[in-house]
Structure 1
Amino acid sequence: MQRRSFLKKAGLGAVAGTAAVAAPVFAQANPKISWKMTSTYGPSLPPLFGAAQTFCKMIEEASDGQFSIRLYPAGEIVPGYGVMDAVSNNTVECGQTASYYYYGKDPTFCFDTAVPFGLNTRQMTAWMEQGDGLKLMRELFAPRHIVNFPMGNTGTQMGGWYRKPINTLADLKGLTMRTAGFAGEVLSRMGVVPQQIPPGDIYPSLEKGTLDAVEFVGPVDDEKLGLFKVAKYYYYPGWWEGSAQVSLYVNDGVYEKLPKHYQSLISLASSYAGMQMTANYDAHNSEALRRLIANGTTLKAFPRDVMDAAFAASNVLYKEFCDKDAGFKKVFENYMAFRDGTVPWFRIAEGSYDNYLGIALANAKK
């Protein structure tokens, strides 16, 4: 984006027919605003934290320094999982997080990030932007005084790191595993003991043996965390995260006081920062995976009985929540109807193309 071009169109810069806007007029139209932003993540996770940095940088540059947001990593103002409460009560004006961390407050929040056997990245974007996703999520967050914006997606995630191989469903029994959101509840019904641990505590917990297994994101972030050094087996796919959307939370009180062009700038900047996050993962996961394998990682697919048991357990859990929570049911039915309507097209078009190309490239190298 050309900053000066944007400023002109938004009324932030030169007015047509004049050399420049007089300083008092510019100040009146573009008030000086300083916000604080907290994140669930930190600099050790460049694609995730980098999206928040990109967002803040774009806001400041596009407003010619009039609107600035100071970014704080997890733990500097509030703990990593304290973002929702911090934005809700206006301890900070905005925050970056993944909504499925707040499963304990309301399982419906998971639809803003990922649910087992849910939408892939492009389907999630389509549901949010062209389906009812954003409207339903805005309704969900409103009682908590939060205006939410999609701000990136990791893509389909990996199934995690395991100290021992998973050859059958029975191998999951008694396994202590770091996971988050809906996945933990489903896995617990398969015999796993789930633990929700912030990103910064994952490696030491696995190294000390407090955990038997860990799932986080995928090759780029997992390599950064060094998980391959303390667990050998790396499984796929992360059936609980066919995609994982990251969100920007803004306190509704301060948001409503912003000039309309600042509100539009938040939407534009969060969208651009999110696009960069997804592109980062798509561009670098493959090379990171190659390095992990070169360093001794054993890459394995989950056995079919594990996948089938996970699918069945997920559907049972969905029914239980729908039966007791009308709000959950409303979002669930809309989300899954969108999934069921789009999967056949993706399977016909991109699925068949990707499968053929993968086989053809492998055969060409023989």
Structure 2
Amino acid sequence: MSNNNKPKDQKRPMDNNRRHFLKTAGYATAAGVGAATFPAPYVHAQSNEPIRWRLQTYAGPSLAEHVIKPSIDAFNKAANGEMEIELYYSDQLVPTSELFRAMQRGTIDAVQSDDDSINAPVDVSVFGGYFPFASRYSLDVPTLFHHYGLKEIWEEAYGEVDNVTWLGSGSWDPCNFVTRDPIRSIEDLDGQRVFTFPTAGRFLERFGVVPVTLPWEDIEVAMQTGELDGIAWAGITEAYTVGWADVSNYYLTNNISGAWSGSYFANTERWEELPEHLKTLFKLCMDSSHYYRQHWYWWGEAHYRTTGGKLELTSIPEEEWQTIEDEALSFWDEIAEESERSAKLVQILKDYRQTMQDAGPPYRYS
């Protein structure tokens, strides 16, 4: 599914939603999110009116059709009139980088994103999104959270932050380069202006990559105009789904991470107001979204490599690419020095990496 197939006036309903949001939330400008006072969303109490939430995702409309919309539609149906979640897309109400503050103040009620992109004020935020080479496959992420202690670490970290509740994490796709010019060696990365995540960009700067931050809706145009040379934000499934394959020429098969780690968050006051059965329902719908993405991305990464037809595949030789992976371990050690919790996390990642290597195929191949 490509953005080119969407009506040209696609942004108009989003703009209308934004205007409605500004009126109802008293939200003057995106920059003023920290200065204004906003009324809390209506809470189901003595009346029969449903509880209403506003949830914003990191994803644009075409990607959100897969990564969250089916689960929110299912929630609204299963809530049977007791609660309704209004879903908003990337930067639609609040710029992604300001989502944490907006949620904390109650401007919006919930968020689906990685910690890194929303500037979460916790030391674990650098491990959200694409922490370089922290995973090889999508199953690594839930395994780390549920069996290696990351869930408890995230709960501890967000327990130190006022009025935001971390609800859980899941995995998305790998992080590969989609570019206008071919990348066949590490030297080819030098000088490439690339849209990527904050921590991934911080790491890639070591190889001459120039990280660029732009709103989601501007990425396709930036590739067409040459403002961007490439994108290191997703795997090949998203490149085709959101239209980036239409404005790029090459796909680098080497990735800097095997899976993105994304989470769901909620304003703590809004979350605690929910009855237990609606909390349970929301978490079940989160799990359904996690499950769908596991097989959708696993299918898509192979499908579009073999039958996509729009992007030529390139590769950096494995022995050369190992230089980047080795450098990632040095990067891990630097992050470990930032806090005791970061050091604990890095040690978990090292132990997990060693376990997977010792286990051998299919966990890791030498």
TM-score normalized by the length of structure 2? 0.78
Q: Distance in 2 between matches of 1:118 and 1:129?
A: 15
- 1:250 deviates by 1.0
Q: 1:116 aligns with which of 124, 132, 135?
A: 132
Aligned counterparts, 1:94-173, within 5 A: 94-102=110-118, 105=121, 108-119=124-135, 120-142=137-159, 143-150=161-168, 152-157=170-175, 159-173=176-190
1:314 lines up with 2:328 in the alignment? yes
| Aligned twin of 1:331 | 345
Unaligned runs of 5+ residues in structure 1 are 1-26, 356-366
Q: Deviations over 1:291-312 (max 9, x none)?
A: 43x23x2201223365223223
Q: Cα deviations across residues 149-171 of structure 1 (Å, max 9, x unaligned)?
A: 346422334x2122322333222
Q: Does 1:67 align with 2:80?
A: no
C-alpha distance 310-269 of structure 1, shift in aligned 2 (>3 A): same
CA shift, 1:275, in A, is 0.9
Structure-2 separation of matches of 1:154 and 1:147: 21
Opposite residue 153 of structure 1, the aligned amino acid is S
Q: 1:44 aligns with which of 62, 66, 83?
A: 62
Give 3-state SS (helix, strand or coil) of 1:221's partner. helix
- Check the 8 A contact 2:55/2:110 in 1, yes or no: yes
- Asked if 1 retains the 8 angstrom alpha-carbon contact of 2:172 and 2:297, the reply is yes
**Aligned equivalents of 1:219 and 1:162: distance in 2?**
11
1:312-349, Cα deviation, whole Å (9 max, x unpaired): 3222222222223223212222233233223432x334
Contact 2:186 2:316 in 1 (8 A): no
Whole-Å separation in 2 of the counterparts to 1:97 and 1:188? 23
1:53 to 59, 69, 72: 69
Match of 1:175? 192
Residue 70 of structure 1 deviates from its aligned partner by 0.9
Partner of 1:272: 288
Deviation of 1:260 (Å):
1.9
**Counterpart AA for 2:349:** Y
Post-superposition shift, 1:136? 0.7
* Aligned partners of 2:99 and 2:118 also within 8 Å: no
Take 2:243 and 2:60, find their aligned partners in 1: how far apart are those partners?
Answer: 15
Measure how far apart 1:202 and its partner are. 1.4
Contact in 2 for aligned 1:166/1:303 (Cα 8 Å): no
Alpha-carbon distance between aligned partners in 1 of 2:127 and 2:262, rounded to the nearest angstrom: 11
Superposed structure 1 runs of 4+ greater than 4 Å apart: 102-107
Structure 2 unaligned spans of 5+: 1-44
Map Cα deviations across residues 182-221 of structure 1 (whole Å, 9 max, x no partner). 2211110111111133332211111111112212322222
Overall identity of the aligned pairs, in %:
20
Report how many residues are paired. 320
Match of 2:361 among 323, 348, 358: 348
Alignment match, 2:205: 188
> Taking structure 1 as reference, are residues 51 and 302 closer, same or farther at Cα in structure 2, changes over 3 Å only?
same
Shift of 1:243: 0.9
1:105 CA drift (Å): 4.9
Amino acid aligned to 1:148: W
Of residues 297, 302, 320 in structure 2, which corresponds to 1:281? 297
- For the residue of structure 1 that corresponds to 2:255, the secondary structure is coil
- Give the alignment's Cα RMSD to 1 decimal: 2.7
More helix by share: 1
CA distances 1:12-58 after superposition (whole Å, capped 9, x unpaired): xxxxxxxxxxxxxxx98x9942111111112221xx44332223223
Q: Is 2:94 aligned against 1:78?
A: yes
Distance 1:151 1:54, change over 3 A: farther
- Tell me, in whole angstroms, the C-alpha distance in 2 between the residues paired with 1:55 and 1:144: 27
Contact 1:112 1:137 (C-alpha < 8 Å) held by counterparts: no
| Separation in structure 2 between the aligned mates of residue 105 and residue 325 of structure 1, nearest angstrom | 13
Is the Cα–Cα contact under 8 Å of residues 100 and 110 in structure 1 kept in the other structure? yes
Aligned with 2:117: secondary structure? helix
Alpha-carbon shift at residue 235 of structure 1 (Å): 0.2
Q: CA deviation at 1:94?
A: 0.6
Residue 135 of structure 1 aligns to which amino acid in structure 2?
Answer: E
The question of whether the paired residues in 1 share the 8 Å contact of 2:184 and 2:314 is answered with no
**One of 265, 274, 286 as aligned partner of 1:258:** 274
Aligned-residue offset at 1:222: 0.4
1:214-242 CA deviation, whole Å, 9 max, x = no partner? 12322222013333333322101212x21
For 1:163 and 1:53, the matched residues in 2 are separated by: 31
Quickly say closer, same or farther: Cα 1:79–1:351, change in 2 above 3 A: same
> Would the alpha carbon gap of residues 71 and 77 (structure 1) be closer, same or farther in structure 2, given more than 3 Å must change?
same
Residues 175 and 155 (structure 1), Cα distance of their counterparts in 2 relative to 1, 3 Å cut: closer
